[in-house]
Structure 1
């Protein structure tokens, strides 16, 4: 943790210039205060030993098509491990929910890399790391789900429902669940299992890649083709009904393809991968909205049962929770309908462009 820092921000108003100058002069004369230099975000980050943008949310890896695959995959995993470790303190200190979000994205990308590219690494190490990162995804999941649930409830309250007071007991109950989940998360990130996971991955990354082997360009091309085919097959299985399991499978396959495209964007001509990733992001947004609505509705009903058993909340609270459940279901249906449009758009022109791009050569050029 960095050194504690306090900032006094003084803003002037038109017509009070003299009073503003006097106030600033008097504050500057106080012991321990000095005029700030630079922007406030940079100063706040510096207090934590950081700087804005030092942990980019997007992977930008300068890979080369003929680079040995084992070396390139190690570079990908190294960048992801750095993102996990860089966000861990913010998660533990509970500074902002985005720290947990970014940590979980790095964990998901790591699992995807191990699953889809692990063939160029020692198989026994990959199997062990897959198990451990599955555990890490699980222990970080509940707290993040509750963060997203709270954001969904806040969105509902902004619709002008007028139910903020009635939902007060439910929000308090939700906050208790979230606090308990965060305590469990902190214990996991401070525990031996997490430390051993990091040490095991660092040892793998430090080990020299095996000599020979395929170039990453060929490995990347095949992996992307396979992921693309799996996504299309999964999407074509979805009918017009709200089959949560099938839609979740499409969501997972979409993420796996997107992560591969992000890993290997530098292997392809500039501007070719970005539009495809944007289409996949739209697909994920629709599927994520549907998935969240399903999960939130189930959690809301479970919490209503808990509160009823414990005698928490008034009839007005439970009526408000029912209206919230109806709103969540409507949101989920809207996202499901959006998926049909987005998938149709992705499976036509963008998919053809991806196939052409991958067929131009035996791998990236």
Structure 2
């Protein structure tokens, strides 16, 4: 089995010449046509494998790749020459996929038709193969364009690979992608809009360093996939997914602060905060529109219709005023939401975000923490021992700070909510290290989420008045201001009710048994 370390970027087709101009080395051009196979229930895909038969200038080859053997950037690969267009089962029997297939029939799922230009780069003592792929993925009656750059480290220090990526990114937009052609092909064949990548469970025997790399790779994969999805088709769910991905990645770095406290890690953490903040206005408006304005508008419409049905005449002047005010405020909200989404899209499409992805990958794979002698003891510590200590610390802090929820200011409750969210992320990330108590794990996750949600509703209530006021003032429409005031009235009474619910969630959290 070979072991490869590579980076893949999505590029605009028109950027290919600018990229090739920066890559000096021996060139080869090939047409690579391949067909991917799987069982009828997609057992290979579910297990993290891609199986293809590819025709090229060196003949026909069968390749099995494992997306999870070494993480996002390093994949297991088994390749052999074959004679026919169908998979060779004798060769597959010598790979880990044999148990997955278990004698089941293999059928074509999708194909790739790609023209590949490769150049072998010699740089700073390293050898890097650059491959520019352009073509398409056909699957039944669907097609998807392919325009990618792959940089594979053949020999030398990993940092050189990332230095080359940064150099190229300064001359052409490179969007880091951690989704393979196989994953894109499956998503196309099965008509999956977002094609989420499953998390790779942690090995309970992992060291702390191994756990950080595995979780970091998954976090970066989530981030890049969510950014691609939002950029392709903006919407509330996709924006929320990207914002959560950024926050969850940042929370991971906080949990592993012992290994993630160098300047390069702090830079990545700061840039993740920048990204989440750029998405914040759009997310807050999405929540306000969905939870406050739209229900009010629907209720008003229903009441107007009921009134007409009962008395057979037009709504009263007062009701008409309510409708006009809600409509004016809705228009103002739409303007604000459009502006906020433009800001979010600009962030995702910016050189700053593209640099963030490369910097995060470089830190995960080639940061000083991976080899520094003074970090060796921390890296090699059993991950389960590290996780138990980290989870204990976060749990104790929440138990202490939440004792007097009613006495906390809205700001303090917000900070408590953030701590609850970080604990939940840590539990979801590290829970696999403790396989002996699955019921306790599920109960703890549920209790943590319930507390986080209860505090989240309180926080939403606290920020709604300011959001509504700012939107109404920006449009300078008195009717919009009137509706904004009506929709955010009754805050103290609602706050008291929500506090009772949050206190109940806190008690449930305190009583939840540890699983570690």
Q: TM-score range by the shorter chain?
A: 0.7 to 0.9
Structure 1 residue 294 corresponds to structure 2 residue 435: no
Q: Is the 2:250–2:272 Cα contact (8 Å) retained in structure 1?
A: yes
Q: List per-residue Cα deviations over 1:289-327 (Å, max 9, x = no partner).
A: 1111111111112233334xx3x243xx54433221115
* Correspondence for 1:128: 267
Q: Partners of 1:232 and 1:242 in 2: how far apart?
A: 14
* Correspondence for 1:156: 296
* Correspondence for 2:382: 215
* Correspondence for 1:20: none
1:109 to partner: Cα distance: 0.9
Which of the residues 323, 326, 329 maps onto 1:167? 326
With the length of structure 2 as denominator, give the TM-score of the two structures. Answer: 0.54
* Correspondence for 1:115: 254
More strand by share: 2
Q: Is the 1:84–1:107 Cα contact (8 Å) retained in structure 2?
A: yes
1:192-231 equivalences under 5 Å are 192-207=351-366, 209-210=370-371, 213-231=380-398
* Correspondence for 1:232: 399
Q: How much is the aligned-residue C-alpha RMSD, in angstroms?
A: 2.8
Q: Partners of 1:87 and 1:114 in 2: how far apart?
A: 19
Aligned-partner SS, 1:273: helix
Q: Is the 1:287–1:339 Cα contact (8 Å) retained in structure 2?
A: yes
* Correspondence for 2:433: 267
Q: List per-residue Cα deviations over 1:176-224 (Å, max 9, x = no partner).
A: 1111111111111111111111101111222283355211111111100
Kindly tell me: are residues 345 and 281 of structure 1, through their superposed partners in 2, closer, same or farther at Cα, counting changes over 3 Å? Answer: same
With 274-283 and 207-216 compared, the bigger mean Cα shift is at: 207-216
With 153-162 and 135-144 compared, the bigger mean Cα shift is at: 153-162
Q: Partners of 2:300 and 2:266 in 1: how far apart?
A: 50
1:275 to partner: Cα distance: 0.9
Q: Is the 2:222–2:245 Cα contact (8 Å) retained in structure 1?
A: yes
With 321-330 and 124-133 compared, the bigger mean Cα shift is at: 321-330
With 119-128 and 265-274 compared, the bigger mean Cα shift is at: 119-128
Q: Partners of 1:233 and 1:218 in 2: how far apart?
A: 23
Aligned length: 305
Q: List per-residue Cα deviations over 1:210-247 (Å, max 9, x = no partner).
A: 35521111111110000001111211243x25620121
Which of the residues 345, 349, 354 maps onto 2:508? 345
Structure 1 residue 90 corresponds to structure 2 residue 253: no
Which of the residues 472, 485, 488 maps onto 1:304? 472
Kindly tell me: are residues 48 and 296 of structure 1, through their superposed partners in 2, closer, same or farther at Cα, counting changes over 3 Å? Answer: farther
More helix by share: 1
* Correspondence for 1:51: 192
Q: Partners of 1:53 and 1:93 in 2: how far apart?
A: 10
Q: Which consecutive unaligned segments of at least 5 residues does structure 2 have?
A: 1-9, 11-139, 143-185, 304-321
With the length of structure 1 as denominator, give the TM-score of the two structures. Answer: 0.75
By relative contact order (CA 8 Å, sep 6+), the higher-ranking structure is: 1
Q: List per-residue Cα deviations over 1:324-346 (Å, max 9, x = no partner).
A: 11155554443222111111222
Q: Partners of 1:186 and 1:106 in 2: how far apart?
A: 16
1:97 to partner: Cα distance: 0.9
Q: Partners of 1:297 and 1:198 in 2: how far apart?
A: 36
Kindly tell me: are residues 215 and 168 of structure 1, through their superposed partners in 2, closer, same or farther at Cα, counting changes over 3 Å? Answer: same
Q: Partners of 1:68 and 1:170 in 2: how far apart?
A: 54
Kindly tell me: are residues 127 and 298 of structure 1, through their superposed partners in 2, closer, same or farther at Cα, counting changes over 3 Å? Answer: same
